[in-house]
Amino acid sequence: MKLDNVSTGATMEFLLLGFSELLCLRVLLFLVFLTALLVTLAGNMMIFLAVVMEPSRPPMLFFLCQLSAIELCYTLVIVPKALLSLAVVEGSTISFLGCAAQMHLFVTLGGAECFLLAAMSYDRYVAICQPLRYMVVMSEGLCLRLALMCCLGAFAVSLGLTVAVFRLPFCRSHRIDHFFCDVPAVLHLACTQSYAPELSLLAACVLLVLLPFLLILVSYLCIAVALLHITSSVRRGKAFSTCISHLAVTLLHYGCATFIYIRPQSSYSPARDKVVSLVYTNITPLMYPLIYSLRNKEIRGILRKMLRKKKVAQVNWDTIRVVMCV
């Protein structure tokens, strides 16, 4: 194959086309991205601060705090560049190293979330199947080790995938038909006839997506068996209700990830991928705070406590102002 414009040096640039084919919808898409960014940041920051300020945090709240931190970083890695690509008619440029860094951070955060969801499913398993030993098993030390393993494991796999992708020669146009440096979109530019790039993506998917999913599946199979042994329908419903938020988030995250990454490169469709990516980079991070704040009684309690403190502080401040005026 003749290589045109082959360059993999640090001086090479990519052009993110974003939604350049939808010129008439640019303003609408910009407003959607901006609104999603602001609401996602506000919602996840609220949950993060609420949990951090709570002196006694059960394990699930600890994991939820980490999940909110991941979503905050996840949004900041993707959405600002997407907003820039919408603001510039010709699309926005990104350097070779910038594209590699964005891909590495994106895959790291997405993988860490997969591992974290597996850790949260184990937390639900212990809470339902071994309630008397819950606080002993899910100790603070174990929670910290699980959180660290989630981040380090995802970082290592993401680094290997990013290096494998950006070692490829890019002989096609450097125009990425996407609003960020997603793995399938960058692989589509590579001029290689081998299946090595797809194998590296497949290996990353097995480690970051399939393995945590199997762990979640095993946890919920054990939970289902335990629920079948509960004779009281009220107790069974109460126990299952503690898993609904986690199940909803898991289905959202794995549904999008499976659709985008676990498939052959030959089925790549830029338009379809951008729509799905729009959902899992903007809509799902926006929904996570809503799901957990509405379904999790601990979060609702903490938020109510924060609002009461804010009201008390406001009343005290108003009183001080009145006294000073007098």
Separation CA 178–CA 37 (nearest Å):
18
Neighbours of 87 (CB within 10 A): 11
The predicted-structure confidence for 156-215, as pLDDT tens digits, reads as follows: 999 999 999 998 888 767 888 888 898 888 888 887 766 666 788 888 888 999 999 999
SS3 283: helix
The predicted-structure confidence for 224-266, as pLDDT tens digits, reads as follows: 998 888 888 888 888 888 888 888 888 888 888 887 787 766 6
Distances (CA, A) of 74 to 27, 182, 280, 300, 312: 23, 13, 10, 24, 35
Q: Is 221 exposed, middle or buried (0-12, 13-18, 19+ CB in 10 A)?
A: exposed
Separation CA 326–CA 315 (nearest Å):
17
Q: Which residues lie below 8 Å from residue 222, measured CB to CB, with a gap of 6+?
A: 125, 129
What angle is formed at CA 20 by the lines to CA 15 and CA 26, rounded to 5 degrees? 125
Q: Is the dihedral of CA 286, 288, 291, 292 positive or negative?
A: negative
Separation CA 226–CA 217 (nearest Å):
14
Cβ(143)–Cβ(59) under 8 Å? yes
The predicted-structure confidence for 29-77, as pLDDT tens digits, reads as follows: 888 888 888 888 888 888 888 777 777 778 888 888 898 899 889 888 9
Q: What is the pTM of this model?
A: 0.84
Residue type for position 269: S
